[in-house]
Structure 1
Amino acid sequence: MRAVQFSEYGPPEVLQVAEVPEPHAGPGEIRIAVRASGLSAGEARLRSGEMRHVVPLTFPYRTGFDAAGVVDEVGDGVTGVRVGDEVFGMAHSAVRGANADHVVLTAWAPKPAVWDWAEAGGAAGLVETATRVFDRLAAGSGDTVLIQGAAGGVGTVAGQLAAVRGARVIGTASARNHDFLRSLGVEPTTYGPGLVERVRALAPAGVDAVFDCAGGALPDLVALAGDPARVVTIADTTAAAHGVHMSHGVPDDGTALAANADRPAVHGLGLAVDLAAQGRLRIPVAAAFPLTHVAAAHELSETRHARGKIILMH
């Protein structure tokens, strides 16, 4: 089967679509024939080598964490799903490999009928990440939540999920994305110098929680929250220096990185199915590329101007 991988750090050109052996579903797992899979900004940072001192890789490294497709193998002990079902879900975070013709999923849910394959292919990672962070922040009804980088893949879903929890949501994005954020129920403002003053003008009483999806502004975000414990980042590797938690869901493999990991919030997938059916959760797709054009997809990710999730179609 075809799978995207790279064997050295570098620019998008190091990515290859290689022929590799097919994986098979083990106990508690399912395998799908992939129709669409997601590309994350974090994985582009892994490929570039930016994260090599935080998340060292073993080569060749296969990419892709979330995907959607048709079940073609069901492992021992699995109930409630059959061969032929359409699902979306996540691979094991230590194995990945979702940017491939077949992938084994360890968490999944039925594909909502209102989502096309592209939307479903990028949904699981966004939903899990946003749910994990808001669970940690205990953000909910009556809170004012600030999302830094609200027009990106995770940010677009985080804004919607915060609103579902009853929070008032303020999100930063470039001016060209402000109407888009309003369509998601998010009050927009711009990022960059003057952020503290702009947010305080919108929320004079302050913000209760901050979800940083972009990085590069932690001093301002801590100032707005009033306490570094009220800020969680998924993008800024300087988090510890500011007393901020950097959230990730790597497996419990005994490493120092795993010791600081949050428990993956796979319960968010079932909620996403219900919200999608109610018309309360959209998965904005920035662009969809054929699997063979994965380098171009990574190039778009590196611009950091993609509005929504970047998808690979299979």
Structure 2
Amino acid sequence: MSPSWGYGITGLTVGQRVFGLTDWARNGSLAEYTAVEARNLAPLPADVDHTVAAALPISGLTAWQGLFDHGRLTTGQTVLIHGAAGSVGSIAVQLSREVGARVIGTGRTTHRDRALALGVDRFLDLQTENLEDAGEVDVVFDVIGGDILDRSAALVRPGGTLVTIALPPKVQPKDGRAVFFVVEPDRVRLADLATRLADGRIKPVIGAVLPLGEAPAAFDPAQHTPGKTIIRVAEDQPGGPS
């Protein structure tokens, strides 16, 4: 990324390696150059590859905000994470373990080994096992929606929280909260996640890395690969911006 700086920019310098989350209302993020508000960017450690860094902002911020800002997850609680082997779910598993929570992960049969490697205490195969076998939990973090989201409300123990990024819940926990949210840029939290990435406490799951010319394939559900799909916009610069 070759940034141009406007009036009032603080905390970053020309030529600095940065990464971040583009504004949801702005088109053109899949391009060689794009305009991003400085407040949405954070410094990128020199030893973190751009491809790995590109997988962190939306997945890391979504996981953090869902678990802690909205779900209020704390040490000793139990969290149920749907899609535990995916791009958001995998980061959520790692952050939950770091805070000292018990983690139940869900997913497909083919996701079991990856979820267990991430450190879930228990894995529920949504294709062959009953979701209700998870029992009561303090926090449900949902990225799936639909029937899974509806059934998850009954698993939230009194005082707990159902958090989802899929759609506003139609079914509310009996004695708890339900929260639907859209991830927001946060430079301070992004820098904190970058530190965790650099020292190995978290590791994004990268599904596929495609050149800019194949970007349409990244949005084809039939071509979906578990993990975060990265679009590389500068093929002539190995390890360069994505």
TM-score by length of 2: 0.83
Partner deviation per Cα, 1:80-117 (whole Å, 9 max, x = no partner): 32222111101122214321111222311222344322
Which one of the candidate residues 66, 81, 84 is aligned to 1:150? 84
Structure 1: 5+ residue runs without aligned partners? 1-32, 34-70, 201-205, 250-262
* Separation in 1, partners of 2:204, 2:65: 17
Instruction: Tell me whether 1:310 sits opposite 2:239 in the alignment.
Output: no
* Separation in 2, partners of 1:168, 1:112: 31
* Secondary structure at the counterpart of residue 3 of structure 2: strand
* Separation in 1, partners of 2:51, 2:144: 23
Which one of the candidate residues 26, 51, 75 is aligned to 1:118? 51
Partner deviation per Cα, 1:38-63 (whole Å, 9 max, x = no partner): xxxxxxxxxxxxxxxxxxxxxxxxxx
Instruction: Figure out how many residues of one structure are paired with residues of the other and give that number.
Output: 222
Does the CA-based 8 Å contact 1:131-1:265 persist in structure 2? no
Instruction: Tell me whether 1:269 sits opposite 2:190 in the alignment.
Output: yes
Which one of the candidate residues 23, 32, 46 is aligned to 1:101? 32
* Secondary structure at the counterpart of residue 75 of structure 2: coil
Does the CA-based 8 Å contact 1:229-1:245 persist in structure 2? no
Pick closer, same or farther for the CA change 1:117–1:138 going to 2, 3 Å.
same
Counterpart AA for 1:306: T
Q: Percent identity?
A: 34
Instruction: Tell me whether 1:213 sits opposite 2:143 in the alignment.
Output: yes
* Secondary structure at the counterpart of residue 18 of structure 2: strand
Instruction: Tell me whether 1:196 sits opposite 2:125 in the alignment.
Output: no
Shift of 1:290: 0.7
Cα RMSD of the aligned pairs, angstroms, is 2.2
Shift of 1:228: 9.2
**5 Å matches for 1:1-314?**
33=1, 71-106=2-37, 107-134=40-67, 135-187=69-121, 188-192=123-127, 194-197=130-133, 199-200=134-135, 206-216=136-146, 217-226=148-157, 230-235=161-166, 237=167, 239=169, 241-243=170-172, 244-249=178-183, 264-299=185-220, 302-303=221-222, 306-314=225-233
* Separation in 2, partners of 1:150, 1:113: 29
Structure 2: 5+ residue runs without aligned partners? 173-177, 234-242
Pick closer, same or farther for the CA change 1:157–1:85 going to 2, 3 Å.
same
* Separation in 2, partners of 1:118, 1:100: 15
Does the CA-based 8 Å contact 2:74-2:101 persist in structure 1? yes
* Separation in 1, partners of 2:86, 2:199: 23
* Separation in 2, partners of 1:224, 1:304: 33
Does the CA-based 8 Å contact 1:146-1:209 persist in structure 2? yes
Partner deviation per Cα, 1:19-49 (whole Å, 9 max, x = no partner): xxxxxxxxxxxxxx2xxxxxxxxxxxxxxxx
